[in-house]
A and B are shown apart, each in its own frame.
Chain A
Amino acid sequence: MPLKGNLRDFTTTQLLNLINLAGKTGTLSIFEGIRTGEKDAIGQEKMKAGSVRALVSFKVGKLIAATLDNQDGNLVSVLNKAGKLTDEQARIIRERAKNTSDKALALLLINANYVTQKDIVSSIQQHIEDVVYSLLDWQEGPFQFDDGQLPGNDRILVPIDLENLIIRWSRDTHEIDRLKAQIPNLDMGLKFPENPREKFKGIHLSVEEWRVVSFVNPQNTIKQIAKANNMSDIEIRRIVYGLEQAGLVELVKPPSKEAAVGGPGKPAIPRKPQVERGVVDRLIDRIRQL
């Protein structure tokens, strides 16, 4: 069953995180949305998939390739964009190596001392990051994830951790409305996900982000963490948003706030039923018989 949906129902970071956390292997296609005039289950106009806007491939949850439909993502273009090949060199190589795969071309370029292996890896990595970075801002469009579908064998695949990319993107985000929508309640607490050691391995956080991380505890509200660090609402929202989107922290209700979720003026928590274990056993027996 392919994973299908529309980016307006998730943020792109949530979708990429899902693929990352599930350790999926395959390719995410994001399409141009064509409005159908019909409504979906929550009253939004339905969209069907048009032309492909981006392809992002993953291997066991790690980013390995990404291309935009309007970009030539072959090795020569990537090296040219990274400044490793001049425009003239790129033109000549394109002419002479028209039908050569990226892998074969990489060997030729390394052997001819045009570039090093490190140049190639870092240029491809930068290209993938740039592509994914640009689509993190996309707010709508049908998507589909096809399990097991990967770029051809001729492509050079470079595994990249998503978390650093998402953190970097959240630092640059200045959309206050989006931050407020994602972190509407500063009375929430923060907790670490399962296996935090694993998640934080290789993560590059700023001093401010580490300061917030040091206060992560379900007992501390985001507001209290902001106050302790002398941060404005927007600053703390931006940092928490980035950490949360990267899967490094999770939002939780502080224990003392549990009763307040129903909103102000709500009655006290309803009573739990007082039933004996025997009652539950009888229910189980009856349902089994149905």
Chain B
Amino acid sequence: MQTVKMVITGPFSSGKTQFIQSISEIDVVRTDERITGDAEQIEKESTTVAMDFGRITVDDDLVLYLFGTPGQRRFDFMWEILAEGMLGFVVMVDSTKPETFREAKSILETFRAYAPTPYVVAANKQDLTDAWNVDDLRIALRIEEGVKLLPCIANDKESVKDVLLELLYSILEEMEANS
């Protein structure tokens, strides 16, 4: 049995857990704890401590695991462990919360440094009226032209599929470029 993994990362409350839940064939294994910080309390009742874990079985010989990183910096010691051997990663950004953009960029740079694997940026919550559009986000986050920045709605399975497929296409493109 071969297993491959992708990492879903991003700031606190950017939609990582929802993203995995929308596509995983199993109930996401969540390692959440009750939130204690004031700011975090407002956003949601619990948050991911070590990681979320979802699975997509391809066939008898191949399984894809999706790992969601904890968004809070105090758990960033886990990031590098999760990044080990990843096929690629998705950086989730909450398009309605400009106060988190700086953190999203910092997480992106950190993961880029962990491993030179392909990645895409998912501009989540594009269905909300306050969402920044992807063109503005690209400039605000200083995402290079060659990097895919994709509109996303993490609770919409089709949207999640699109993001994962785009990441896989990027992985293929890199394989072709290196062959």
Instruction: Given A3-B132, A18-B140, A290-B56, verify A272-B117 contact (CB < 8 Å).
Output: yes
State whether A258 touches B113 (Cβ < 8 A): yes
* Contact residues of A: prevailing secondary structure: mixed
B49-78 residues with Cβ-Cβ distance < 8 A to A are 56-59, 62, 64
The 8 Å CB contact of B12, one of A41, A194, A286, A287, is A41
Q: How far is the CA of A259 from the CA of B114 in the complex (A)?
A: 7
Instruction: Please tell me which one of the listed residues B87, B103, B165 contacts residue A288 in the complex, with CB atoms under 8 A apart.
Output: B165
Question: Could you tell me if A283 and B142 are in contact, using CB atoms closer than 8 angstroms?
Answer: no
Q: Are B84 and A270 in contact (CB under 8 A)?
A: yes
Are B175 and A277 in contact, CB atoms less than 8 angstroms apart?
A: yes
Known contacts A41-B13, A41-B97, A1 near B58 by CB under 8 Å: no
Name the residue of chain A whose CB is nearest to the CB of B58.
A286
Residue pair B56, A22 in contact (C-beta under 8 Å): no
Contact, CB under 8 Å: B4 / A275: yes
Number of A-B residue pairs, CB cutoff 8 Å, is 141
For the complex, is B155 an interface residue (Cβ under 8 Å from A)?
A: no
Q: Which of A5-13, A117-125, A164-172, A230-238 lies at the interface? A: A5-13
Q: Are B131 and A1 in contact (CB under 8 A)?
A: yes
Interface check A271, CB cutoff 8 A = yes
Q: In the assembly, what is the distance between CA of A146 and CA of B62, in Å?
A: 49
Cβ–Cβ contact B64 & A283, under 8 A: yes
CA–CA, A283 to B12, complex, Å? 28
Contacts of A6 in B (CB 8 A): 98-99
How many Å lie between the Cα of A17 and that of B80 in the bound state?
Answer: 34
Closest residue of chain B to A39 (Cβ to Cβ) is B39
Quick check: is A273 within 8 A (CB to CB) of the other chain?
yes
Residue from the set B94, B161, B168, B175 with the largest chain A CB neighbour count within 10 Å: B168
Most buried by B among A9, A14, A41, A42: A41
Contact B165 A1, beta carbon cutoff 8 Å? no
Task: Tell yes or no: A40 within 8 A of B by CB.
Answer: yes
A103 within 8 A of B: no
Residues of A within 8 A of B90 (CB): none
Q: Once the chains bind, are B85 and A22 in contact (CB under 8 Å)?
A: no
- CB-CB < 8 A to B110: which residues of A? 261-262
Q: What are 28 pairs between A and B in contact, CB < 8 Å?
A: A3-B136, A4-B130, A6-B99, A9-B98, A9-B99, A14-B140, A18-B136, A18-B139, A22-B136, A39-B38, A40-B39, A41-B100, A43-B40, A253-B113, A262-B80, A262-B114, A272-B117, A273-B86, A275-B87, A277-B172, A280-B175, A282-B58, A283-B168, A284-B168, A286-B58, A287-B168, A288-B161, A290-B56
Name A residues whose Cβ lies closer than 8 Å to a Cβ of B. Answer: 1, 3-6, 8-10, 14, 17-18, 21-22, 38-44, 194, 250, 253, 258-259, 261-262, 266-267, 269-273, 275, 277, 279-288, 290
Q: Which residues of B contact A (CB under 8 A)?
A: 2, 4-5, 11-13, 23, 37-40, 42-43, 56-59, 62, 64, 80, 83-87, 94, 97-103, 109-110, 112-117, 129-133, 135-136, 139-140, 142, 145, 157, 161, 164-165, 168-169, 171-172, 175
Top-9 shortest CB links A-B: A43-B39, A261-B113, A5-B98, A270-B84, A39-B39, A286-B58, A9-B99, A41-B97, A18-B139
